[in-house]
Structure 1
Amino acid sequence: MKTFFATQLFDGHALSDNMHIQVLDGYITAIKPASESDAPADVELNGLVSAGFVDVQVNGGGGALFNDHPDHNTLKTMVKGHTRYGTTAMLPTLITDSHAKMEQAANAVAQAISQDTPGIAGIHFEGPYLSQGKKGIHPAKHVRPIKDSELSIITRKDMGSVLLTLAPENVSPDVIADLVKQGIVVSLGHSNADIDTVLAAIEAGAHCFTHLFNAMSGLSARSPGMISAALSENSVSAGLIVDFHHVHKQNCKLAYQCLGPDRLMLVTDSMAHTGSDLQILKWQKSLITRQGDKLTLEDGSIAGSCIDMATSVRNMHQVISSSHESSTQAICDALKMASATPARVAKLADRGTLSVGARADFVVLTDTFEVQTCWIGGAQVYSENDSNK
């Protein structure tokens, strides 16, 4: 048993001061005010201790891209690249690729899950069942109709949480309903679908949208499109890339006002550049180049991001602070969108909150959301004082 003292604690829902967290075998056994404890803590955490960040859209990190080498070593490299920014659980994301790459990715994640690799909670297949017109950087040659042989990969039971991004105009409601029945989190994105098609997919069980506002049918007076459904349907959640390149600040604020912190989640959509000094990455027949805090292809179009979760929290806090009279509420909402909300969407019941029975995954932050230390299963996996920072 190890006891941690937190000067300030965000448990995924609310803030408390001077709390003790008891941890045994990587899980929380008790949380109570320090004043009620009989013994001093073993570890003092001086800062804002938050439930660890959960990122459900991570293409790469630490210099590695999942598509390039979908194996266990790549996953460990990605985790190391993101823990320094407070991410304690991720869904490694495979961008649209071949059948063989999907199998390799599935095998890699299954291996990581079987070995309880810190930070790996499942997998996100972003495609290949997308709209050609909204494919973004997804290679056109691999965008295709859904196949039974690939359904058997996606519905494997050994990969933890499985999220699938698809375009509803290319996958029938019956198939969506079957995927949901088998435990898949179906997210809608990279789509040009009209409103009726989107609503039919939601009725079938799709309850999430991938990188809201980006690569989806737009909102106009007589064509509500996917954006309208994402903002107006009370049963759905959505991921949002808050790097201020993918989405304007005003639209970030609109998303927050429409969905609130219980349904809006922060995602990075990060490429290999995050958590590394990498400047240029080969992608298909082009190059993805870092220009400050923005990634672009050679034609200037956005190609994923190099943002991290701590920066996402900081940016979102900036966006929503003016909406709250209480600074405490703004802090709670920004942190919740990075922890409890994505964990709920991804069906990760033991992550995203600090509560009895949950994993002891947490991050210690400064008052400006800079990461001091990061812990997974009660073990420190990053410190700002590390020589290899």
Structure 2
Amino acid sequence: MMDQEVLSVFAKRLFDGEQWLTNQQVIWKGQMIESVKSAAMPLNGEMEIFDVLAPGFIDVHVNGGGGALFNHTPTIETLARMVAVHAQFGTVAMMPTLISDDYEIMSQAHHAVCQALEQTMAGILGMHYEGPYLNPIRKGVHNESKLRKPTEGKLATLLEVSRSGKLMVTLAPEQVPEGFIEWLVSQGVIVCIGHSAASYDQARRAVESGARGFTHLFNAMTPLVSREPGVVGAALQTDKPTWCGLIADGHHVHPASMRVAVAAKGCEHMLLVTDAIQSVGSEAKEMPFLGKKVLRSEGKVTTEDGTLAGSDLDMATAVRNTINLIGRTSTEALQMASLRPAEFLGIDQEFGRIKAGYRASIVALNTDFFVTATWIDGQKVWG
């Protein structure tokens, strides 16, 4: 076996996942970081020098990129395309997301992800089924004809991803039978509540049954109002460890609502997600989307009737928006993009920090938090 190459880079400022350090040299061998240490500014040509290094971003909700939508072409080639495109924006690991679809498409997507995991494709952690067990009342852009209740015996075969990777399922708790959430959790599934018309009590029971995520907080769920806290009210509770996905694009959620939610829940249980479709990394202004036409304009993507159809957001922009729109610190924003998703997925012993023994999955940024380079498992894939 060939010796693995030892690589090193220098950061004027380094965020290690917990604290900021200055003038740091990061050394890795193969996929893993060997050391992080203080060092003098290197001479020109000795090693690459970056303004900022931070743990690479983890996106648990991403539907496509670079002109490819996972639902349209649920193949390993699409997964590779998504990883390559989103690496430009600092994403080092993702949960490719399949929007509610027919069993045949779900099966093809499942096969593609299992194939990627078997090949240990860098950047693919598992998959996220967003549906089809959703409430038509809160369907959003999902095709109502694809929504259904979990009565089919075929479901178990789609859960094999959880044997070798991470598996998320977004569902409406009021649409599934009693005991279903507990069963999914027993199969290694991370259950998230979304596209739901559940009451506060129904959502709380789902959490007590093992659900621990809320998909795109505020969107496609019952709101928090005076006498019925709804799904949003359940999401913002802090007595049980749950996490909320936040699409910080300024279109899905008003900045004031985001500020209130983060203040209530705490940054440590907020995840920045993109919900990106194929527009990210593409120049197209119009594109097909699940049998409809989607229009891209001013940072958002909508159907012709104005319904939001996923997003045109990338993770680096989400980080900048968290700082500039929500008023959180760079520490909090970077953690919401890396360490918090890693904790949510249970992979924070590998991802979310730049420390010895962690994966060399790192993003380099300029002082305005635009991406200048990305490494996934020690390999430079952008910049």
Please give the residue correspondences for 1:54-69 in structure 2 after superposition, counting only pairs within 5 Å. Answer: 54-69=58-73
How far off its partner does 1:122 sit?
A: 1.1
Instruction: Find the partner of 2:296 among 266, 290, 300.
Output: 290
Match of 1:43 among 36, 41, 47: 47
**Which residues in structure 2 correspond to 1:1-389 (within 5 Å)?**
1-34=6-39, 43-146=47-150, 147-158=152-163, 160-234=165-239, 235-321=241-327, 330-349=329-348, 350-383=350-383
Distance in 1 of aligned mates of 2:185 and 2:20: 34
Alpha-carbon shift at residue 241 of structure 1 (Å): 0.3
Q: Distance in 2 between matches of 1:169 and 1:303?
A: 24
SS in 2 for 1:32: strand
Segment drifting more, 275-284 vs 138-147: 275-284
The alpha-carbon deviation at position 42 of structure 1 amounts to 6.0
Q: 3-state DSSP class of the match of 1:272?
A: coil
Distance in 2, Cα, partners of 1:185 & 1:230: 15
**How many Å separate the matches in 1 of 2:200 and 2:262?**
21
Change in Cα spacing, 1:12 to 1:41, as seen in structure 2 (3 Å) is farther
Q: Which runs of 5+ in 2 are unaligned?
A: 1-5
* Structure 2 residue identity aligned to 1:164: V
Task: Name the structure 1 match of 2:3.
Answer: none
Q: What is the number of equivalent residue pairs in this alignment?
A: 375
User: Whole-Å Cα distance in 2 between the matches of residues 193 and 351 of structure 1?
Assistant: 34
Task: Give the Å deviation of 1:352.
Answer: 2.1
Contact 1:155-1:184 at 8 Å conserved across structures: no
Q: Deviations over 1:43-95 (max 9, x none)?
A: 33321101000000000001100000000111111111111110111110000
Question: Structure 2: how far apart are the matches of 1:159 and 1:291?
Answer: 39
SS class of match (1:215): coil
Q: What stretches of structure 1 move > 4 A for 4+ residues in a row?
A: 39-42
TM-score normalised by the chain length of structure 2: 0.93
| Cα distance in structure 2, aligned partners of 1:178 and 1:357 | 34
1:125-162: CA deviation from partner (whole Å, max 9, x where unpaired): 10001001111111111101113311331244455111
Q: In the alignment, which residue of structure 2 is the partner of 1:327?
A: none
TM-score scaled by length of structure 1: 0.92
Identity %: 40
The alpha-carbon deviation at position 193 of structure 1 amounts to 0.3
Whole-angstrom CA distance in 2 between matches of 1:224 and 1:196: 9
Question: Can you give the 5+ residue segments of structure 1 that lack an aligned partner in the other structure?
Answer: 324-329, 384-389
